[in-house]
């Protein structure tokens, strides 16, 4: 009788552990799906942005405000604009903490 009681308790514990693990996996999958959906919405904006294309082609985003007469002006993209916000949105999506005056300008939500 005591052995049966122990087996029943063990079975209940195993069932509870399995239920909790299933809930954890479902929650994790939902979080992944949400992040994937946000990325799928952001990605086209990233690849279509001309300033980001210029960075991929070798231009620099240094954050400096250069005048058109500065020697490095042609080698840099502007330190402000849509491309900066898109990069900030991507970094936030990746879980990096960013300092910005306007959150979510790329409208990820």
Give per-residue pLDDT as tens, 11-31. Answer: 999 999 999 999 999 999 999
Q: Is the pLDDT of residue 32 over 50?
A: yes
Residue-wise burial string across 83-109, b where 16 or more C-beta atoms lie within 10 A, e elsewhere: bbbbbbbbebeeeeeeeeeeeeebebe
Give per-residue pLDDT as tens, 41-92. Answer: 999 999 999 999 999 999 999 888 888 888 888 889 999 999 999 999 999 9
CA 29/CA 35 separation, integer angstroms:
10
Distance (Å) of CA 61 to CA 29, 57, 79, 93, 100:
35, 12, 6, 20, 16
pTM of the model: 0.69
């Amino acid at each position: 009788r005591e052995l049966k009681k122990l087996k029943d308790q063990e079975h209940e514990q195993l069932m509870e552990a399995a239920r909790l693990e299933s809930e954890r996996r479902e929650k994790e999958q939902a979080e992944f799906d949400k992040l994937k959906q946000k990325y799928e919405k952001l990605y086209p904006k990233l690849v279509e942005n001309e300033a980001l294309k210029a960075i991929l082609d070798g231009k620099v985003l240094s954050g400096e405000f250069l005048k058109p007469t500065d020697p490095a002006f042609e080698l840099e993209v502007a330190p402000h604009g849509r491309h900066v916000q898109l990069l900030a949105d991507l970094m936030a999506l990746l879980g990096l903490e960013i300092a910005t005056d306007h959150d979510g300008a790329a409208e990820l939500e």
